[in-house]
Structure 1
């Protein structure tokens, strides 16, 4: 399933987004913790992607319906805690943390440069939300000819039905969709928690 040219992407698992989606569940981040540990145990680079903007939102166009709302209500400025990776899945020294300015992990970031420098050809995708960063990154990564694996239980969405349709019906045409436990087993590290 994975090889030494794989990278695990932990996308938008940041404090402000986890708070909005988790419903206060203490177990919500368990799949991400397990995926990160499995990746580390298999010597697969863990790369974090988070969304954030500079003060004053110079990256946000009034034409962008999704992001222009942020300029009205505020939040998600790079320096705020809402944009930081959630402490329960915090990066280790040496992990790459990429800041993006749009929905896809590639748009407005240096992710592709980092992937090329490490000769990564396979991306293992996790993130919040399935219909946002995971979908957008999967589509763009597929167009860039990356091999793709989606860890369905380490993806979450506000709408469970949208998550189900994407992971069961849409993603399989461009990616291998599996669970964290199945992926960990394929790496020879088994389930961790």
Structure 2
């Protein structure tokens, strides 16, 4: 039997400024559905060390960020209050794009016998893509919540959801997933 966990990825204040206003309610709906069904929720956040000493200059995404962004002291790097961790929910810090990068996420999943990941996050072309590909390579079953993922580029979001993710796992809406619980 597969044990499922919902990964809410990069739902940090700074990232939410780059998505449509109707995005956050769907992420909240996914979170509430998971909690109501007893599905473990794991919050994934990007966090770099002060001065970004862990971001190589060759890394186009992180190497060019100003050294104060996405650090422990950056208030915009906090998880948005509407989807903040509750009680015993785990928060995993990553230092690259994939939810598995620079942390013990796989160990935490294995310790809880999680074999099925349900993914939601910002951005579809970033954390969702990287995590989906890595999770599939690690033999997790993957479900992507299509309307609880968002990207600055809507056409790229649609291509990833409909062409890339659908070949690697299940793609459903939040409402469809909640109904199946």
How high is the TM-score relative to the length of structure 2? 0.96
Which residue pairs with 1:190 in the alignment? Answer: none
Give the Å deviation of 1:79. 2.3
Counterparts of 1:153 and 1:131 in 2: how far apart (Å)?
14
Give the Å deviation of 1:4. 6.0
Say if 2:61 is the partner of 1:66. Answer: yes
Match of 1:16 among 14, 17, 28: 14
What is the RMSD computed on CA atoms of the aligned residues? 1.3
Q: Could you tell me whether the CA contact under 8 Å between 2:145 and 2:171 is conserved in 1?
A: yes
Q: Could you tell me whether the CA contact under 8 Å between 2:23 and 2:148 is conserved in 1?
A: no
Which residue pairs with 2:167 in the alignment? Answer: 173
Structure 2 counterpart SS, 1:21: coil
Say if 2:71 is the partner of 1:54. Answer: no
Which residue pairs with 1:84 in the alignment? Answer: 78
Structure 1 counterpart SS, 2:5: strand
Give the Å deviation of 1:41. 1.0
**Unaligned stretches of 5+ residues in structure 1:** 188-193
Q: Could you tell me whether the CA contact under 8 Å between 2:2 and 2:115 is conserved in 1?
A: no
**Unaligned stretches of 5+ residues in structure 2:** none
Counting matched residue pairs gives 181
How high is the TM-score relative to the length of structure 1? 0.90
Q: Could you tell me whether the CA contact under 8 Å between 1:4 and 1:44 is conserved in 2?
A: no
Q: Could you tell me whether the CA contact under 8 Å between 1:149 and 1:178 is conserved in 2?
A: yes
Give the Å deviation of 1:140. 0.3
Give a deviation string over 1:136-189, Cα, whole Å, max 9, x none. Answer: 0000000000000000000000000000011011111111000000001111xx
* 4+ aligned runs moved over 6 Å, structure 1: none
Which residue pairs with 1:191 in the alignment? Answer: none
Counterparts of 2:53 and 2:169 in 1: how far apart (Å)?
34
Give a deviation string over 1:57-85, Cα, whole Å, max 9, x none. Answer: 1211112111111146x411122112111
Counterparts of 1:28 and 1:21 in 2: how far apart (Å)?
7
Which residue pairs with 1:115 in the alignment? Answer: 109
Counterparts of 1:131 and 1:103 in 2: how far apart (Å)?
10
Give a deviation string over 1:81-117, Cα, whole Å, max 9, x none. Answer: 1211111111101000011000000011221111011
Q: Could you tell me whether the CA contact under 8 Å between 2:28 and 2:83 is conserved in 1?
A: yes
Which residue pairs with 2:33 in the alignment? Answer: 38
